Structure 1
Amino acid sequence: MKTDALPKKVVLITGGSSGIGKSIAEYLQKKNYMVYGTSRNPEKFTDNSVPLVALDVTDKETIGVALSEVLQKEGRIDILINNAGVGITGPLEETPEDEIKKAFETNYFGPLNLIKAVLPQMRKQKGGLIINITSIAGYMGLPYRGIYSATKGALEITTEAFRMELKDFNIQMTNVAPGDFATNIAAGRYHAPVREESPYNKPYSVTLKVMNDHVDAGKDPELMAKAVYKIIRTKNPKGHYRVGEQLQKLSIGLKRILPDKVYEKMLLKFYKL
């Protein structure tokens, strides 16, 4: 059963200045939500129709300041969408530890700290919805994307636990896992360099091209916006949603039913390894 969206519900979405986040923010704004996006440098995006507040998900102090700013203006936060994230690629053996930690700080600890910060307000309101944008990559260990998969998989699993812990407070939480979308995420990724002397030189180069080609040919981010809008209008959202190419969504189901070695061979073929 669906519920009509209440006018002017307050939405805070991290990473709302570009890509999937911007598409979701603009779409919800058109649907009569009061939407605030976030950016580390909102002054750079003067043409945004959605107001941006300064927030760095890796900095707890800015999280507190941003939430206070929205609450001062609106008095409530009905929906938090944890969308900000970073990509990271490279051979696991060669990816610098500090880059691995940065990816986890942005993709996992950032959303976790935002959730912790907003929960007291949602309890005070006696309700709220938190949507975590994860990735289909979080359901499987992908070659040369192992760290990215791990960060998104960690958030998926943490959400499952949160849903049970929050059941008494009328606070709902769900994951939305996108596949490849036509955004600038590939350009913004940390790419471990393709080193001439590396034993991974050839396979990493091949896989990197496959990954970038998939993003370039990805779907329109508005598809994600429509999916998020539908979830918001759903009375009792599920724990997991997947949005993207049918083959990418199917890959999750195949992992459940195929023997490990068969599934591994399927991934190797897909990435031309």
Structure 2
Amino acid sequence: MPKQKVVVITGASSGIGEATARLLAQNGYCVFGGARNPSRARPISGVKFGTLDVTDDASVVSFVDWVLSEAGKIDILINNAGVSLAGPVEQTSIAEATKVFDVNVFGPLRMIRAVLPSMRSARSGLIVNISSVLGFLPAPFMGIYASTKHALEGMSESLDHEIRDFNVRVILMEPAFTNTNLDVNSANTEAPLGVYSSQVEATMKTVVAQIKSAPGPELVAERILAALEGPYKMRQPVGRQATLLSRLRRFVPAKGFDGSLRKSFGFRKA
């Protein structure tokens, strides 16, 4: 019997991370889940939780060293931990933007830097970065969050070329809105909305309605499992809506796509 594959999942105590940890463990993977406060994580059979803050260099190194000491290897890294932020770009402070980038972009970078030496040494590995359709689409009043996902996609594609000769690859999972606490309870910018107030209210009302009617994190978990066990493909939209949006972005004329996007976010026709 082949040796179990060892998987590390960041942000594994809730949402997509929790659903993925549970599904992979049920399917025979050896799963290590990272969480800022593991004591609050619901126990999952076959999943070992450890303390992990992806914004802290020492925490990342300590967590990866612990996994390697326990399992001897890391076959798959799933960078899932993330935070969101809603509000006008103009009203977003540098401190607020930095916090989002620190989790959503620099967090994956820290994890990648920590796991790559062992993967390169084994000449085997897979890095799965949880992006979003907002990694290739604009998102009014979620511009900072969208920019972190755009950055993650650029880093992922570049990294894949750098490490391919070591038999290590990168996958981007691109879900549309997912019904998780991260999306429903998104943080808001602190500054008064001012002239943007009425449009922010209309847009976020539309967005929250879409999130509440969206599939749960289990759909993303199922797609991750399929990606791990199926043929390699870098960009993997999750679900029908994400797949459709990916195709529309590539093939629909810019003017038509722009109008459709504004409508979907509750804007008046320009």
**1:142 maps to 2:136:** no
Task: Verify the 8 A CA contact 1:194 1:204 in the aligned structure 2.
Answer: no
Q: Of 90, 95, 117, which residue of structure 1 is paired with 2:114?
A: 117
Q: How does 1:10-49 map to 2 (within 5 A)?
A: 10-45=6-41, 47-49=43-45
Q: Name 1:158's counterpart in structure 2.
A: 155
Task: Verify the 8 A CA contact 2:96 2:189 in the aligned structure 1.
Answer: no
1:186 CA displacement: 2.8
1:41 CA displacement: 0.8
1:130 CA displacement: 0.6
Distance in 1 (CA, whole Å) between partners of 2:42 and 2:243 is 36
1:220 CA displacement: 2.5
**1:239 maps to 2:239:** no
1:234 CA displacement: 2.5
1:45 CA displacement: 2.2
Distance in 2 (CA, whole Å) between partners of 1:105 and 1:126 is 29
1:39 CA displacement: 0.5
Q: Name 2:63's counterpart in structure 1.
A: 66
TM-score by length of 2: 0.93
1:48 CA displacement: 3.9
Q: Deviations over 1:27-69 (max 9, x none)?
A: 0000011101110111222534322111111111100000011
1:115 CA displacement: 0.6
Q: Name 1:8's counterpart in structure 2.
A: 4
Distance in 2 (CA, whole Å) between partners of 1:59 and 1:272 is 38
Letter in 1 for 2:262: L
Q: Of 74, 80, 87, which residue of structure 1 is paired with 2:77?
A: 80
1:218 CA displacement: 1.3
Q: Of 192, 216, 230, which residue of structure 1 is paired with 2:212?
A: 216
Unaligned runs of 5+ in 1: none
Residue identity over aligned pairs, in percent, reads: 37
Distance in 2 (CA, whole Å) between partners of 1:169 and 1:188 is 40
Distance in 1 (CA, whole Å) between partners of 2:166 and 2:57 is 24
**1:92 maps to 2:74:** no
**1:228 maps to 2:224:** yes
Give the total of aligned pairs: 266
Q: Of 199, 220, 225, which residue of structure 1 is paired with 2:195?
A: 199
Q: Deviations over 1:167-193 (max 9, x none)?
A: 110111110011112211134422125
Q: Deviations over 1:75-134 (max 9, x none)?
A: 000100000001111001001211111111100111011111111010111211110000
Secondary structure of 2:4's match? Answer: coil
1:6 CA displacement: 4.8
Secondary structure of 2:178's match? Answer: coil
Distance in 2 (CA, whole Å) between partners of 1:6 and 1:256 is 41
Which consecutive segments of 4 or more residues in structure 1 shift more than 4 A? Answer: none
Q: Name 1:179's counterpart in structure 2.
A: 176
Distance in 1 (CA, whole Å) between partners of 2:155 and 2:244 is 23
Unaligned runs of 5+ in 2: none
Letter in 2 for 1:112: L
Task: Verify the 8 A CA contact 2:124 2:166 in the aligned structure 1.
Answer: yes
Distance in 2 (CA, whole Å) between partners of 1:107 and 1:13 is 14
